Amino acid sequence: MIDKSDILTDNFGRRHTYLRISLTERCNLRCLYCMPKEGVELTPKKYLMQSNEIIYLAKLFVKYGVNKIRLTGGEPLIRKDFPEIVRKLSQLPVDLSITTNAVIINKHLELLQECNIKTLNVSLDTLQEKRFKTITFRNNFKHVIQNIQELLKQGFNIKINVVLMKGVNDDEIIDFINFTKNRNIAFRFIEFMPFVGNKWKRDKIVSYESILNVVKNYFGEEKLIFLVNKTHDTSRNFKIKDFQGSFGIISTVTNPFCDQCNRIRLTADGKIKNCLFSSKEKDLLTALREGNPIEPIISRAILSKKLVRSGMTTSEDFENTEKHNENRSMITIGG
C-alpha cells in the first residue's frame, strides 16, 4: 500500500501539487520557438489519451494531492472534445486553468464561465501585427487582441506569456509594460529556453537582469514596485507605480527556481515528465490500458526528479545543446 502522503513527494521534500495536462500536440499557430520550422512528427491518434483516460488520470493525481490543473497543448481549444473534458475536470476539487493562444477562445467563453474557470494564460509574443506573423507564421493578430479585450471585459484573470528573444521582440519590453497601465493584466517575460528544433543559443536570451535594467532606465527605479510572490511562483513579480496591471520575469535559464518546484507534466500521449527539461519520461497510458497499477510508476517518476533542471546544475551543462537533443520539442511537451 503506497502512502498517500508520499507518492508526489520527491527525495528533496518537494511535494508536487500542480499538474499540467497536454490535451494535444497540434496547434493553429507555428511559433518559431515552439515548433521546428520543418514541423514535428505527431503521435498517431491511437497512442494519445482519450477523454476518459485524461479524466481517470486526473482523478488519480487529485486523490494523491494535486490541487491545481492547467490544460495546455499544442493549443488545447482545438481538440474537438475540449468542452467535455473541461466540464468533467471542473467537477474536481482543483483550481482549473488553461494556457491558450486565444485564437478561438471567443467560441468557448460561455463554457469557461459555466465551468468557473477564471484564469487564462495567453501566449502572445508581440504587440505588432507584422511581427506576429513573423513569429507565428499566421495572420491572427487583430483577432487575438480583440479576444484578449473581450476576456478582460468579462472579468477573466489574464496572464500574457511572452517569450523574449534578443533581436526578435526584446525591443517591446516597454510596450508590453505600458499595455498594463490601464488594464488589469499581467505580462510574464519568459527567458528563451532550449528544446529540440528551436535553434536555441545563449546569446538569444534576454535575462532577468537585463529586463529589469531596461525597466529601471525607462520608468525610473523609484517607480518600480516589487510584489510579494506566492509560494511556488515561477515568476518574480513587479508593477509600475499607478499602473493597473503588473509584470513578472520567469528566469528559467539565468536564475532557476527549482528549489520550490511543485510541477509535473502529463503529455498528450500519457507520459509523465517530472521536469520540463528531462528526457526521461514514464509511460502511464500503456499501464492504464493494460490494467497495471499506475501509482508505482508515478512514484518512481517523482523520486527520480533531479534537484535542478534534470541534473543540469551549471551554466556549462545547460548550454551544452547535446543535453537537450533527447528531449522533445516544446509543442509535444505542453506549455
Domain locations along the chain: 18-333
Which residue(s) pair with 160 in the sheet?
122, 187
Residue 102, pLDDT score: 97
Are the C-beta atoms of 124 and 160 separated by less than 8 Å? yes
Contact 320, 273 (CB under 8 A): no
* The pLDDT of residue 299: 96
Query: Cell numbers at residue 305, please?
Result: 526528479
Residue 131 pLDDT: 97
Helical residues (DSSP H) of 220-314, grouped into ranges: 284-290, 295-303
Give residue 147's pLDDT. Answer: 98
pLDDT for position 309: 75
Cα end-to-end span (Å), the chain: 33
CATH number belonging to domain 18-333? 3.20.20.70
Q: What are the CA-CA distances from residue 214 to residues 57, 173, 177, 219 (Å)?
A: 44, 8, 11, 9
Name the burial class of residue 276, with classes exposed (0-12), middle (13-18) and buried (19+) by CB atoms within 10 angstroms of its CB.
buried
Beta strand 224-226 pairing with 185-191: unpaired
In the prediction, which pLDDT does 2 show? 45
C-alpha to C-alpha distance for 248 and 233, rounded to whole angstroms: 10
Element (H, E) at 83: helix 82-89
- Predicted confidence at residue 174, as pLDDT, reads 98
> Per-residue confidence of the chain (335 residues) as pLDDT tens digits?
445 558 999 999 999 999 999 999 999 998 877 776 667 778 999 999 999 999 999 999 999 999 999 999 999 999 999 999 999 999 999 999 999 999 999 999 999 999 999 999 999 999 999 999 999 999 999 999 999 999 999 999 999 999 999 999 999 999 999 999 999 999 999 887 766 555 667 678 899 999 999 999 999 999 999 998 877 788 899 999 999 999 999 887 777 778 889 999 999 999 999 988 787 899 999 999 999 999 999 999 999 999 887 666 666 666 666 655 566 666 677 76
Phi/psi class of residue 162: alpha, beta or left (left: φ > 0; alpha: ψ in -120 to 50)? beta
CA-closest candidate to residue 256, choices 214, 303, 306, 216 = 306
Contact 238, 227 (CB under 8 A): yes
203 burial level (CB within 10 Å; 0-12, 13-18, 19+): exposed
| Contact yes or no for 35/332 (Cβ under 8 A) | no
Q: What are phi and psi of 240, to 5 degrees?
A: -95, 135
Task: State yes or no: cis peptide before 270, omega within 30 of 0.
Answer: no
Dist CA 53 CA 172 (whole Å): 42
> Rounded to an integer, what distance in angstroms lies between the CA atom of residue 156 and that of residue 102?
13
Print burial letters for 32-63: b (CB count within 10 Å at least 16), e (below 16).
bbbbbeeebeeeeeeebbebeebbebbebbbe
Query: Which phi and psi angles does 124 have, rounded to 5°?
Result: -150, 115
Helix 51-63 crosses helix 295-303 at what angle (to 10 degrees)? 70
